[in-house]
Structure 1
Amino acid sequence: MDETDPGDFRERVTRSYERQQFMRTLGAELTRVEHAMVEIEMPFNPKLTQQHGFLHAGVISAALDAACGYAAYTVIDPEASILTIEFKVNLMSPGRGDRFLFRGEITKPGSTIIVADGRAYALSNGPAKLIASMSGSMMVIRGREDVTG
């Protein structure tokens, strides 16, 4: 991958994630931070379901967006930030499980635009079940005081 030195990305990602009030509201926790890959997990919560009792597509999309955005955050220079500019989510199976895992991985790093792919898994007894995938584009933001970390 062609990129700038991301510095201490784990600390930056963790500090930024702690300011994510929405992820806290969902009960989602940052569980893994690697170069170009981030995982977020959350328990099932009936308050986050749609009319059939499955995890709501909006919750799935938001968690995938966060995982992909923070994966992008691991490959940029420490003075920059990230904003999502586009994403598409494919819902493949009902969001039914005891816990959920959202993994974001960088597909193509860049100095201005970064492309990431995400996968959402339902976790219960047995193997993880793929429930959704995401492809997203993130813009690297520099020099804006209102968009930091």
Structure 2
Amino acid sequence: MAEEITPEFAALVLDAQPFSRLVRVRIAVFEPGRAVLEVGVRDDLLQQNGFLHGGVLSYAADNALTFAGGTVLGASVLTSGFSIEYLRPGRGRLLSARAHVLESTRRRAVCRCDLVMVDGEGAEKLVAAAQGTIALVE
């Protein structure tokens, strides 16, 4: 069975990632089989048309998938692959990357992530969806 990872440990791992610090991501939920990461939207994260850059969406999906997988596999995990579908432009004040484990074995977890933009009034819009496989590292 995987070692249990606390939300505090997960926050330390996230803070140890220079790119995560650059984006200013935070862990909103970290519980068995589920992780939610949030990114506040800033001008330096937008692309030329004023939408949240696809690279930020992809980053958030990758990390949220990995953190969700880590809740069932333990701390020594990496993304072995993922795909993302951009559904609509990212507009809003907050990105919420909501990942959960679909199925897992002792060495791998298949996870899904919904990327939701939240506007100033709290209304939510699904802007992308991702699925990936998280692998235990020896």
One fold, TM greater than 0.5? yes
| Contact 1:27/1:42 (<8 A) preserved | yes
SS at match of 1:111: coil
Residue pairs, 1:1-149, within 5 angstroms: 4-77=1-74, 81-124=76-119, 125-142=121-138
Partner of residue 147, structure 1: none
**After the TM superposition, which segments of 4 or more aligned residues of structure 1 sit over 4 Å from their partners?**
none
Structure number, greater radius of gyration: 1
Using the alignment, how far apart are the partners of 1:11 and 1:102 within structure 2? 19
5+ unaligned residues in a row in structure 2: which ranges?
Answer: none
Aligned AA (1:137): T
Q: Helix, strand or coil for the counterpart of 2:65? A: helix
User: Cα gap change, 1:98/1:19 in structure 2, threshold over 3 Å: closer, same or farther?
Assistant: same
Q: CA deviation at 1:92?
A: 0.7
3-state SS, counterpart of residue 87 of structure 1: strand
Q: Residue 75 of structure 1 aligns to a residue in which SS?
A: helix
Q: Which amino acid letter does the alignment assign opposite residue 130 of structure 1?
A: L
CA RMSD between the two structures? 1.4
Shift of 1:70: 0.5
Equivalenced residues, count: 137
Structure 1 gap ranges (5+): 143-149
**Percent of aligned positions with the same letter in both sequences?**
28
**TM norm structure 2:** 0.92
> How big is the shift at 1:100?
1.1
Question: Separation in 2 of the partners of 1:14 and 1:42?
Answer: 14
Deviation of 1:9 (Å): 3.4
